[in-house]
């Protein structure tokens, strides 16, 4: 599985040692073509870092084997190779994400779509891409005939398709994985942590000194990380989508990896990034992509209407402008300075 999204990054100056034997342990590693990290408060009753890392790595490997479109032996890749009018038994997790994608697609009138892989390949962003290039209108039209949630059906533990569609879960799989790991941490007695999987972040509890975990929303720059806004988190997931990390340029025009399902082409508006905060990291992950597709005006109206906590960064002729939804402002106020 390969995920390229703008990063949210943790603000943690050092490992803290505070009474009662509590301290912050941390580890991480490669995953999904990117990386993950976990910082957690260790004390009496919490697993040793080596044991906990083995648990986390096992969950990550399981998700990769089920959902990666970058490895040919994954469950999802095997489904994607099937012809039209085929079915395959799929892991419950894959079916759960397809249902979640279906709901987001229905809620947004098709602005969110998990079947865009052939279009991603066509534009040069997918696992079967043959170089980044602008395709012809005829090529886009041909591929769009094999795109659409309506072509998918879920039976009893099976995923079926009536056209040769291919499913790509990258827009929600990392958020799902964060929630899955967080649930396991709770089962193992880890109550306070900051977890980041490929830029999808979730935090719970507090650090040993009583202060909250804080993450920084990254400013939309492709040269280095700059914090734009700092948020304290407890029991929330955060996801940022943007157009400034994965793109190509042709004839002076930038083409983003975020595609609009209704045009079959990269988004073409001034929204540079959008961050969503939600109790479900899976939903935050999907909503950040959905709002990125809709753009600064339609996306803001959608988020405001559905009471989504979202923070928009838009390009203007004078630089970047920011705008937070009422739900975001109620939760965080003006935020903290970097």
Using a pLDDT cut of 90, give the percent of the chain over it.
67
Q: Say whether pLDDT at 225 is over 60.
A: no
34-54 exposure pattern, b = at least 16 Cβ within 10 A, e = fewer = bebbbbbbbbeebbeeeebbe
Using a pLDDT cut of 70, give the percent of the chain over it.
87
**pLDDT digit string, tens, across residues 38-58:** 999 998 889 999 999 999 999
Q: Say whether pLDDT at 213 is over 70.
A: yes
CATH superfamily of 70-169: ApbE-like superfamily (1.10.3980.10)
Domain coordinates in residue numbering, the chain: 70-169
pLDDT band at 285 (very low <50, low <70, confident <90, very high): very high
Mean pLDDT of the region 146-171: 94
Backbone angles phi, psi at 202, to 5 degrees: -145, 140
Supply the mean pLDDT for the chain. Answer: 88
Mean pLDDT of the region 64-78: 94
CA distance 136 to 129: 15
Q: What is the value of pTM for the model shown? A: 0.89
**pLDDT digit string, tens, across residues 19-42:** 456 899 999 999 988 899 999 999
Higher pLDDT, 82 or 217: 82
**pLDDT digit string, tens, across residues 274-284:** 999 999 999 99
- Angle 211-206-181 (CA atoms, 0-180°, nearest 5)? 145
């Amino acid at each position: 599985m390969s995920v390229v999204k703008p990063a949210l990054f943790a603000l943690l100056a050092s490992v803290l040692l505070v009474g009662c034997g509590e301290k912050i342990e941390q580890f991480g590693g490669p995953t999904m073509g990117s990386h993950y990290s976990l910082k957690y408060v260790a004390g009496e009753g919490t697993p040793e870092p080596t044991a906990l890392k083995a648990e986390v790595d096992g969950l990550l490997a399981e998700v990769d084997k089920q959902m990666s479109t970058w490895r040919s032996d994954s469950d999802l890749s095997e489904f994607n190779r099937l012809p039209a009018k085929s079915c395959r038994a799929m892991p419950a997790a894959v079916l759960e994400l397809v249902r979640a994608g279906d709901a987001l697609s229905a809620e947004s009138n098709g602005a969110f779509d998990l079947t865009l892989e052939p279009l991603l390949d066509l534009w040069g962003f997918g696992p079967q891409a043959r170089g980044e290039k602008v395709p012809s209108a005829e090529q886009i039209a041909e591929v769009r005939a094999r795109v659409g949630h309506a072509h998918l059906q879920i039976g009893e533990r099976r995923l079926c398709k009536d056209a040769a569609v291919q499913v790509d879960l990258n827009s929600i799989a990392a958020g799902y994985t964060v929630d899955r790991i967080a649930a396991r941490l709770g089962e193992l007695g880890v109550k306070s942590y900051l977890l980041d999987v490929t830029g999808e972040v979730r935090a719970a509890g507090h650090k040993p000194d009583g202060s909250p975990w804080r993450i920084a929303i990254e400013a939309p720059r492709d040269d280095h990380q700059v914090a734009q806004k700092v948020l304290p988190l407890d029991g929330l997931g955060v996801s940022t989508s943007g157009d400034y990390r994965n793109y190509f340029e042709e004839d002076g025009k930038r083409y983003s990896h975020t595609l609009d399902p209704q045009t079959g082409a990269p988004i073409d508006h001034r929204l540079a990034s959008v961050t969503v905060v939600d109790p479900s990291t899976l939903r935050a992950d999907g909503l950040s992509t959905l709002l990125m597709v809709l753009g600064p005006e339609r996306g803001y109206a959608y988020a405001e209407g559905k009471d989504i906590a979202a923070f928009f960064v838009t390009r203007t002729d004078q630089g970047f402008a920011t705008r937070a939804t009422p739900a975001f402002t109620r939760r965080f106020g003006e935020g903290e300075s970097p």
